[in-house]
Structure 1
Amino acid sequence: MSVRRVGWFIVALIVAIAGIAPAVAAEDDAARAAFARGDYEAARSAWQPAARAGDAGALFGLGLLYANGLGVARDPLAAQHWYTMSAERGQAAAQYNLAVMRETGDGVPRDRSQAAFWYGEAARRNLPAAANNLALMTLAGDGVQREPAMAVALLKRANADDRRRLIDALPEAGAITTANLRARPTLEGKRLGRVLTSTPLRVFAQQQDWAQVWRVDNDTVGWVARRLLRGLPEPGGSRVALATLAQGPIMTPAATSPQLRADADAPPRLTTTRQAAPPHTTRLLRNSGWLATIGGDTTGSLQAAMRGTPMRVKVQGLNVREWPSKRAPIETQLRRNDIVRVLETRGDWQRIELPGQPGESWVAGFLLDDNLTPQVVKPKPAADTPSRAPASAPVGQGGG
């Protein structure tokens, strides 16, 4: 083909594509108008050609019809097909509805990790309902690794009413006196700040002598010594049913596909139905006991929604330092099978993200493993000769 013919071919292709866009937009407008007046057959007829052209909004519209049996026989598998095609093209509403189907098992195989993935994609496009549901899954360790600090960060993208509803549902606690808020339930944990008697706190979990709390005035999550708190739930007390706070599927074909921006001024306001999940999907936040959920399908499933690459600590104690050097101060220490996210590699060192801990954090890279399956270390056989028992560690007298 000559250069001249190639040039004319490209011009013709551009003209053809330019002509398709207005036609698709007109068909989508007509379909949404038909949907609004309840003429679902007309909506489907208008959406079908636009869907064949790959329009994300039209693909979502067809999914909406089949998911709810509007003008067609209800067909969850067909709805999943159309939602998936739309979701892969960046349609936030389709990503969200697909996540709801996967979370509840609505006519399709239930897969909470897939649900978390699509909630994460929709949350990245600033869809408040997706951020809310993903925050609840992350808080309860439901299909994903339990990370209360990440859940609190996700709530910043949720509606203010959803955030307030969760705050009201959680047990309230207060400090008896000024206490340290630490990154880990130990006196050696990095100090994240201090809590006063007037600091508003909500309780996430308790572990032995420590309580994991949410400082709601500045969204910091950390640990405080239980003896320094008042109002903690009794061991074995009632639990908070988070499923009652979740939002149901989007029920309108609103044309929206927000950009991947964290600073969107006006997150989309789509019509959803608030509903309790079926009994088998109920998420419970235990107010006593430790809720770490690691293993199976719970690790790494939020990678698309969060920064960095997840990796597992493969040694018993891994020092976290302020800069990439053995001479750098130690911030804290990670335990075997802890999951961290690697943000940067610099020589033999890797910068990691620690939930709730601002600033630089570095670890020796060769002590991390990309295999996220927890490793069990068999205990060494007892020695033939008796050894002297180690002295008991002194109990700290300070405030956590």
Structure 2
Amino acid sequence: MKVLVVGGGGREHALVWKLSQSPKVSKIYCAPGNAGISELAECVPIPAGDVEALQEFALDKKIDLTVVGPEAPLMAGIVNKFSAAGLKIFGPSQEAAEIEGSKALAKEIMEKYHIPTAKYQVFIEIEPAIAYIKEVGAPIVVKADGLAAGKGVIVAQDEDTAVMAVKEMMEEKAFGEAGAKVVIEEFLEGEEVSILAFTDGEHVVPMVSAQDHKRIFDGDQGPNTGGMGAYSPAPVYTGEIAQVTVEKILQPTVAGLKAEGRTYRGVIYAGLMVTKDGVKVLEYNARFGDPETQPVLMRLETDLVNIIEAILAGRLCGQEIKWSGDAAVCVVIASGGYPGHYETGKPIRGLGQAGPEAYVFHAGTAFRGEEVVTSGGRVLGVTASGKTVKEAINRAYGETEKIRFAEMHYRTDIGAKALNRK
């Protein structure tokens, strides 16, 4: 089987790594890929958003299965176009993926199908948005409606910050057209957890839990990023909460999308907040999360190709999915200055030294001659497993300390919440 993976980040490296373990796979291509991915797949210089070129490549190479990593090509309708051309592709349709592409749509679906979430209002003009902020007060959350690479959410602790966020999104176009419409919602207090789930449009099978770390600095300080690390499992996600999540959130979401003519097949991601009033949805993503995918896939024991084939055939309910009882932790190493301005082209030292039960997933790397250099904000995702979360943390940080590049930055408290809770 020839497989094409679309994307070039840490999530895609984890997907390539897991797919490469399947005896069904004979060749993997990755577009555009990165330096680390090139060890497992043939990298193709086609941007993830160039749907036409990707389709042409898939037809030319007679690709048997395409797996889509990032959200942008999903929103651009890559699944619709590949399917129409007779190509097998894993991911939700353009209509289904809009649950991530529009936060306002996601909120409307949650409201209509009684899925627990924060109270909210949607605005297309600045003045009513500011008036609403002053009416309800802070803390409050301001979200750009569209895609903003995981950075379009501002948790404002005071009204001035919230007002500034609205102006930056709607007036200064900080996130382009993504901020033309904003969702303003109540601040939920509690602990976050990420639940990824497989679905064939009817049945939903959740994966093991994970917890992402969005803020750039230790102690959840500083601006939001695409994610500075993750661990699995998350102790906050108890058996009772898991049952509620499936029955009150995941199944009603998939059923609601189908009722709206947006049948969802692929991986759906629910970002949840465990509050004193129960578990509530913060957001949906229409694909594998990054960096949660790295520790979650490290725990997956079933052949990922078998799961994907079951989903595409509409028989997920008959597919057995096994997970390791071990924990896994991913520590993201970022460029200095990220998520703001950062420099690239820094040579990376210490790669290729990872011990057993660890793997260094590349997120923003490239070759300069024979040398591996930085090429993005999030550069590497050092991922390790262990019998306990503590053992996995120690192993991941032990591997992280072997790596060096100028101005590198990483959080030193990934997984600390799990230890504190225990």
TM-score, normalised to structure 2, is: 0.25
TM-score, normalised to structure 1, is: 0.26
Per residue, is there more strand in 1 or in 2? 2
* Higher relative contact order structure (alpha carbons within 8 Å, sequence separation ≥ 6): 2
